[in-house]
A and B are shown apart, each in its own frame.
Chain A
Amino acid sequence: NAGVMQNPRHLVRRRGQEARLRCSPMKGHSHVYWYRQLPEEGLKFMVYLQKENIIDESGMPKERFSAEFPKEGPSILRIQQVVRGDSAAYFCASSPQKSEQFFGPGTRLTVL
C-alpha cells in the first residue's frame, strides 16, 4: 500500500506565475488535508477536502489560493500569481476517517 504521494517534490516559480501542487492520498482514504510549513515554524492547516467537496477552508488565504479534490485524480492545491511569501513546504495528509493523518513527503515551493 503506497503512502501519500505528492508531486512535484520541488517547485521553483517566478513571482506572478502559477503553482500547482498535487497530492494522491493513500488507497482507501477519502479525506485530504493541506498544510503549509514556513521556515522554523510548525505546520499550519490550510484546507480539508473530501471527494468533490471542500469541508473546511478556514486556513486558506482569501485570495490566490484554491484547492480541489475531484472524483477522479489527485487533489490539487493551486496558487495563482505567487509571491515570495508563498515560499514554503506544502504537505498533504490523508485519512480514512477522523483519525491519525498520514503525511506525504511535501512539495517545497521556492518563489524567485
Chain B
Amino acid sequence: DQQVKQNSPSLSVQEGRISILNCDYTNSMFDYFLWYKKYPAEGPTFLISISSIKDKNEDGRFTVFLNKSAKHLSLHIVPSQPGDSAVYFCAASASNTDKLIFGTGTRLQVFP
C-alpha cells in the first residue's frame, strides 16, 4: 500500500521556467511533509518542509503548498536551473511516529 504517491516519474522543464512537482498521500494521520532532492550515488538532501497547520512554506526559489482536504502537496521551483536536475522525493510522517514514508520520486530535468 503506497501511502505517498508521486504519479509523475519524470518532468522536463526549460531553464528559467517554473517546475511543479506533485505528491498525493492517503494517510490522514500525516502531519509533517518534506521534500528531498537526490543526485545519483548520493544521499537525499533536505530541501523544504511544511507542517499540516500551514498551507504554504517558502524558502528562496522553493515553495511547498499543502492542500489537506485534497491530501495533496506540491513543490514549486522558480526559476528552474540546470543544477536542479535530480530526483525529487516527497516524504511524510505522523505525529505518533518519527519514520518517514517516501514517494517513489520524480526525476526533474532542467534543460537550457
**Contact assessment for B102 and A98 in the assembled complex, using a CB-CB cutoff below 8 Å:** no
Interface of A is mostly: strand
Q: Given B43, B93, B101, B104, which contacts A91 in the complex, CB threshold below 8 Å?
A: B43
* Most chain A Cβ neighbours within 10 Å, of B6, B44, B101: B44
Task: Select the stretch in A13-21, A80-88, A103-111 that faces chain B.
Answer: A103-111
Do the beta carbons of B44 and A43 come within 8 Å of each other?
yes
Residues of A in contact, count (CB < 8 Å) = 27
A105 with B46, Cβ < 8 A, contacts A33-B100, A48-B99, A56-B97 known: no
State which of B34, B41, B43, B89 has its C-beta within 8 Å of the C-beta of A100: B34
Q: Are B99 and A45 closer than 8 Å at their CB atoms?
A: yes
Q: 17 interchain pairs (CB within 8 A)?
A: A6-B43, A33-B98, A33-B99, A35-B100, A35-B102, A41-B104, A45-B100, A45-B101, A48-B99, A91-B43, A98-B98, A100-B34, A100-B46, A101-B46, A101-B100, A105-B41, A105-B43
Query: Interface on A for B, CB 8 Å cutoff?
Result: 4, 6, 31, 33, 35, 41-45, 48, 55-56, 58-59, 91, 93, 95, 98, 100-106, 108
